[in-house]
Amino acid sequence: MTRDLEEAMAGSRRSLARTLTAIENRSITIQQALSVLGPVPQSQADTWQTLALTGAPGVGKSCLLDGLLTEWASQGLRIAVLAVDPSSPRTGGALLGDRVRMTVVDDEKLKQQIYLRSVATRKASGSVPVIVEDMTKILLSLGWERVVIETVGAGQSEVRCAALADRIVVVEGPARGDGIQAEKAGLLELADAVLVNKSDLPGAELHSDEIRESFELGIGTSPPVMLTSALHGDGIQEAANVLLNLSSSGRSTRARWRERLLAHHERKILESPKLDDLLLDLAKGSIHLDEALHLIGVLKDE
Ligand SMILES: Nc1nc2c(ncn2[C@@H]2O[C@H](COP(=O)(O)OP(=O)(O)OP(=O)(O)O)[C@@H](O)[C@H]2O)c(=O)[nH]1
Ligand SMILES: [Mg+2]
């Protein structure tokens, strides 16, 4: 494994892929990897290192990303993408590259600036947010300047993957006539920006008004809400500029830390070597929940 890590440091993409797979399978720990790769660089003042692009299946996240990556890579940035849950029922689990053609990699020059990777959530052993967090650390410590996480914005695990990122961009489609329901409001609470994609279809403008309104009426200060058409390339350049320099609002920061706190707690429990034994004891009724949490070290004596 050390050889793969060293070759990845020397720029081998195959070794990088193998390293990420080892992280995915939990056959190496992040501590072991970083002991060879060196520490994860800290982010500069107000610039983000990680950005999540999240939203319902099929809203156009991958198509948008293709456009955004083209803009960012043209500016010389080195960007890695982790696409989480490519096993959505809609697409039957094809890999990132097969689902939507990422045209950015057709350009010989831009291709060098981009690294694309799917996270196979079905095969993943352990908590997906933990795996995504560790993979992100590997990429950053190998000198990828920005990591974009594409994840469906439904379900706790996906939302927690998004919450790992320094910034969250929620992607929406045109209005479907059902307004903003509770689940959507929960996701919007995490948003540092909203892209209403498919602006070439009717209802996109209406939906961006609905979103701004729902922020004003309850969620808090509205972040930038922008219209895009990934299909026609409308609004992509503007969105790329705004997103690259996006700052985080107090509202989204708090919401994100809440998710991270919960994810961290879960990580401690899932990674405890005592977990299997404790589950048996809990099932037998020989210990209580509080005792189990004590033994894992999540609960401390007051
Ligand atoms: N009309 C229109 N269609 C679009 C636009 N952007 C994407 N699409 C189409 O929407 C479909 C889904 O696009 P994807 O980029 O795969 O969507 P996604 O959000 O990544 O989907 P999942 O990864 O499965 O969650 C594709 O058929 C795209 O061609 C757009 O701006 N306008
Ligand atoms: Mg996609």
Q: In the chain, what percentage of residues exceed pLDDT 70? A: 92
Is the model more confident about 187 or about 71? 71
Q: Is the minimum distance from the CB of 119 to ligand 1 under 6 angstroms?
A: no
* CB neighbours of residue 155 within 10 Å: 12
Q: What is the pTM of this model?
A: 0.89
Q: Is the minimum distance from the CB of 12 to ligand 1 under 6 angstroms?
A: no
Q: Which atom of ligand 1 is nearest to the CA of 90?
A: 24
Q: Would you state the pLDDT for residue 94?
A: 47
Helix H or strand E segment including 227 = strand 225-227
Helix H or strand E segment including 61 = helix 61-74
Residues sharing a CB contact under 8 Å with residue 74, sequence separation 6 or more, in sequence order:
110
Q: Region 133-144: what's the mean pLDDT? A: 96
Q: Region 122-150: what's the mean pLDDT? A: 88
Q: Region 203-230: what's the mean pLDDT? A: 92
| Structural tokens at position 249 | 């609002």
Q: Region 4-27: what's the mean pLDDT? A: 94
Would the pLDDT of 252 be above 80?
Answer: yes
Q: What is the pLDDT of residues 47-96, one digit of tens each?
A: 999 999 999 889 999 999 999 999 999 999 999 999 987 555 444 444 44
Q: How far apart are CA 236 and CA 251, in angstroms?
A: 26
Q: Is the minimum distance from the CB of 90 to ligand 1 under 6 angstroms?
A: yes
Q: Which of 75, 36, 1, 50 is CA-nearest to residue 248?
A: 50
- Ligand 2 is an ion; its neighbours by CB within 5 Å are 61-62
Would the pLDDT of 158 be above 50?
Answer: yes
Mean per-residue pLDDT of the chain:
89
Using the mean position of ligand 1's atoms as its centre, give its distance from the Cα of residue 147 in Å.
21
Q: How far apart are CA 143 and CA 132, in angstroms?
A: 17
Question: Which residue's CA is the nearest one to ligand 1's atom 25?
Answer: 57
Q: Identify the three-state secondary structure at position 171.
A: strand
Q: Which is it for strands 146-152 and 167-172: parallel, antiparallel or unpaired?
A: unpaired
* CB neighbours of residue 40 within 10 Å: 16
Confidence category of residue 99, pLDDT binned at 50, 70, 90: low
Residues sharing a CB contact under 8 Å with residue 227, sequence separation 6 or more, in sequence order:
195, 196, 199, 204, 205, 208, 234, 235
Would the pLDDT of 34 be above 80?
Answer: yes
Q: Which ligand is nearest to the CA of 239?
A: 1
Using the mean position of ligand 1's atoms as its centre, give its distance from the Cα of residue 17 in Å.
26
Q: Region 221-234: what's the mean pLDDT? A: 95
Query: What residue ranges define each of the domains in the chain, with the CATH number in brackets?
Result: 1-39 (no CATH), 41-257 (3.40.50.300), 263-296 (no CATH)
| Structural tokens at position 250 | 């107090």
| Structural tokens at position 245 | 């320099």
Q: Would you state the pLDDT for residue 93?
A: 43
Main-chain phi, psi angles of 57, to 5 degrees? -55, 135
Give whichever of 146-155, 260-269, 284-293 has the largest mean pLDDT.
284-293
Q: What is the pLDDT of residues 255-285, one digit of tens each?
A: 889 888 988 888 889 889 999 999 999 999 9
